[in-house]
Structure formats: C-alpha cells, structure tokens
Structure 1
Amino acid sequence: MRRARRFMAAAVATVALVAAGITPAQAASPKYASGMPWSDGGFFEHSAAQAQSFARWRGAPVDNITAYTTRTNWNEQLNDWWAGSVPSSFRARRDDFILSVPLWTDDGRAGTDQNWKDLGRKIAAVDPDGLVRLGWEMNCCFSHATNAQKWRKQFSRAVTLLRSTAPRLQIVFNPNEGPAQNGTVAKVESLYVKGKVDIIALDAYDWWAPFTSKANIDSHFTKKYGWNYWYDFARDRGLPFALAEFSVSSGTGQAGASGGDNPRFFDATYTWLAQRQKSDPGSIRFVSVFNESSAYCGCAISATKNRKAAAKYKAVIGKLRRS
C-alpha cells in the first residue's frame, strides 16, 4: 500500500507539473541552466552565435544575455534589433534577457510617454520578466546625472511607463565602480529611487588599479563605492546584488592601468561572489561577463583571447558548478 500511495502521489505531482507547463525533468533540474548558484552569462557583442559558442567553450549554458539599445535618438532606440541577441537555447521562463537603456538618448530627448510604453512592450516580447539596466553607469559614462532631482524624476517616470505595458520587468540600478566622474552627482547613492528598483548592480573591470596584488584587490572590495559598499547597499534595502559588467582588460583603452591577461581577476571576483552567496543565499542575482573583443577593451576570454585568464575562468566556473 505504501508503494501504491507513493506512486499515486508521484503521478498526481507529475500531472500538476505538466498542467503548469513544467516537465518533471525541469522540476528536478537546477534553477539556472548553467548549474551556477546565480544567473551566469554575459555580453556577447549582440551575437546569438557568439553566445552559443561561448557556452560550448566554457562547458555550461549561459543564463543571461546582456544587450544595449541604439541610443542615438528615440527612433533608433525603439528599433528592437537587439532581440536577435538571444540564442536558440534561450528560455524566457528560465533565463534572463538584460537590456541597457539610457534615460535620455544622445540627442537629449527624454522620450514621450508612448515611447517608453512601446519600449516596455518590445522588451517583454523577448522576456516578459526581463531586466532593464536603466540609466546604467550614471556616475561616470552614460546617462549622465548632473542633477539628482531631475535624474530621479526621469528614472521614476521611465519605470512607471515601462511597467504600464510590461509589469513584470525588473529594474536594475547600476552604477560603475568608484566615485562620480565627469561632473556627475557626487553622492551616487542619492540617485537611488526607493520602490522603483529590484536589483542593485555594479560594473567593474580589472583596472585602476589592476587585480595584480592583494592590496589592489582589497581596495576594489573595501573602498567607498566599491564592491562591498554596493553589496551592503543592496542587502540593507532587501535587494539582491549583481555584477552587470566585469572582465579582464588587455586593450588599448586602459593601457598602463589594467591587468591584461590576468587570471587573478577571475579568481578574486568569483571567490568574493561565492563567499557572499554562501553566507546569504540568493543575495547574488546575476553575473555577466563582458566578452568584448574590440581593441579598446580587449575583454574577451576564450581559447585564443586572454588565454590565462580564460583558463582560470573555466576552472572557477567548473568548481562552482560542482559545489
């Protein structure tokens, strides 16, 4: 009788899963296809083929795909060519599409209400609960925040309009590592808008100073507006943390200030991530390596690019997947 009851219970559970559109195999599999403890993927130059090739090379599927709108003007921003960035293996219910969207286009336009509503629909068409890096790197490089009140007002407006047509979108507040630059608001944290953000993320690379000594590595983690600062900022607000862009750099853009083909970078960063995930499960939401091969960055990792760093990356990924 016990065996019969167990069989019947299993059968009922299977029927329930199938009715919900979930196979028993899916239910038994890890939350993330990669087998990592968080969504682990990257930017692959808007190429679905590159994303697939990277997954094969590292021996694990990619859980997220990062993309960028064309920011020239709103006509270009609403061109959803970026939807082609996701590989055929992408599953919206399981994986994450992450789109980087400026608050103002390069011509200074804030966008009409309809512009933002249309953009929300187009993102949701790829992934209904996709992630939006809204005004990312606001403290240095893009979507410049020179007036905190104006920036917060536009951020809140954009979130409200995006969610009016795509209510499940997840909004990412995403500064660059370090203090404000280029005349942006000095108190970077003052740009955060309570109630409008789902994830706190950071962009961080192997430069200024390179991860080539313990002192340099520690400084990235412990300085104000460094890794610990934004992780604690997220957790104090009950939000998860993410690395929205990170990688080594052997390009021309940071010549003399970067670590080049530096395996210590991935060793240090994934150790930091794993420690926080272990002590506070679920606190790391996603990690996206910036696999950019252009000369200015030299950030790509593969069997032929930054080979020493790439080998370390594969090793740490493999260890975390087995743990």
Structure 2
Amino acid sequence: MILPVITFLLLNNFFITLTTDSGEAVTSGGVIPMDYLGAAGLFVAMIVTIFTVEAYRWIKNKGWVIKMPDSVPPAVSRSFSSLIPAAIILTVVFIVKVLFEATPYETIFNLIYQCLQQPLYALGNSLPSQMISEALISLLWCFGIHGDTVVSSVMGPIWRGLSAENLALVSSGLDPANIICQQFRDVYLIAGGTGATFSLLVCIWMSAKSPELKTVAKLAGPAAIFNINEPVIFGIPIVLNPIMMIPFIIVPVVLCVTTYIAMSLGLVPLLTGIEIPWTTPVFISGWLAGGWRAVILQIINFIIAIIIYFPFVKAVDKQFLDNAKKNELVNKEVIYEDSCL
C-alpha cells in the first residue's frame, strides 16, 4: 500500500515556480507540487498502482527476496523480503523520472494529462458521449452482462475526474464547470437502477393485471428504492426480452438529454462534485445534490420514464395474460380427456 504512494510522488518534480509581486519568476525546491495531487493526476495514479503491484508480485514470484531463517518473527521476515522488490521498483521509477526530465514534457504527469487525459475529459464531458455510454450500459445488461461494470471501467475515471474538477472549483469559491460527471448519472439517470426501472415498477403497479408481473414488482420494490434492480432485470425479464429491451435502452438516453438541457439552460444547478452514494433513494439524492430544483427535475424524469415504459408494460402484461388463458384451456382439455378415459 505504501509503495505505490512513494512511486507516485517520486515521479513528480520537487519544485514549484512562483511569481513575485514584481513579476519575477522564482523557483522553490524541496516541495511537493499540488498540481497533480487531484483530478489531473488520476490516470498516473492508476497506472503507477497497477505497475507497482504487478511488478512487486512478479519479483517475489521470481524469488528475488531476502530469505530469513524460520526463527525470525514473520513480521520481521516480511519486512526484509520486501526490500529487494521495493529497491528494484523505485530504481526503475527513478530512471523513468530522469528520462522524462530530459523531454519537453518534464514529467510523466504532463505527458499523460496533455496527450491522454485532457482529450478523454473533453470526450467524456459531452452529451453524445454520455448518451452512447448509457445506451451501451443498457444494451449489455439486455444480454446478461453487467453493463455498469464494463462501461464504468473505462468511463468511470473520466466521470470521477470531472467530479473532482467541479469539487475543486467549488472549494475555491467558483462555480462548477462540468455538466457531465459521476453524480450526473447517479442522481438523475438511475432511479431504481440502470434504465430507471423504478418507473417500470410504478407502471406495473398502475396497470399490470398478470400475477407474474405483480409478483416481480412486489419482490423487486424494496431493492429498487436503493437503486438495485437485478430482480427486475432477471425477473420480468428484461434480459433477452425483445419487447422490454427497447424502453430499457431508450429511457436512460432520453433522461440524459433532458437532464443535460436543464443544466445547460441553468434551470437546474450543476453538480458540485460532492460524492452522493448511488444507492441513495431518488428524490433524497436530488435534494442533497441540488435542492428543490433537482428534485423537480427528478420528478420530471420519473414521469417521462413512466410514459415510455407504459405501452411496453401493457404489451408484456397482455402476453402473460394470453399465455395464462392458453394454459388454462390446455389444462381443461387434459382434465376432460382424463375424465373420458
């Protein structure tokens, strides 16, 4: 746990440039710059952590460690066994640091931020990107794949980085700048879980007559309050269901558009980057994120989702009822034939 932190700090340049009141640039050494200790250093932090852990494991598996006698206490033995792997990793990282100092980028932080992180942030902080992400998440769920995990492994760092930028701006007394961020999705797009399926349950409670849908809605309701919707996805089911796939993909995309427009027009305040757990119930999350205006937007999104889901729920409900009638007729025929025999 300590070694990735050391390597992360070692890759930085331990000096900062300050400008005096007279306009003179003064370089001060022996300090840790704060520029990349926030969102800007997120990608390097992940890369460094993966490299350090995997390199440490590889070196230990090779047996390049100091082995102590069995009489030595385990805590002391583990301390000595980590010396050589740590020395090798820190040496490699230091060489990388020196090599980057000879380039125009000066540090690996500048390279990653300018060539990778900034373009990704620009891509992630756009309405089309968010719409594609939401559609892909729902589409993967439709085939039984955990879409949130797959897509968030790529987009999650970008969304959280944008949240961190908003939080830094607010902490400095400025207004948040990014509409798209992690809380954009957690607060406005997943009421009941991916696909805003709490609205789907409301549709079932309002209009469904089949016992199958009513039972699923009754069992899935408590979990949906906390945005957990696997009982809905696999219970109705939505997975491999060509009828329910359609609204399940459309709803989050539409809600993404309405939320983005509301924020861009200033009708709803931008999110401040404060982490609100995704399991926070709808309306409570809106109040915590943006007050009464955020709650009103959640209500509007909720109604839109109900309208989209409604005809598809009626179609699935009709299928269940028709199947029940067919099964009832078949059972009556079987009983009649048995009585005749």
TM-score interval, smaller chain: under 0.3
Structure with the bigger percentage of strand: 1
TM-score by length of 2: 0.23
TM-score by length of 1: 0.24
Structure with the bigger percentage of helix: 2
Greater Cα radius of gyration, structure 1 or 2: 2
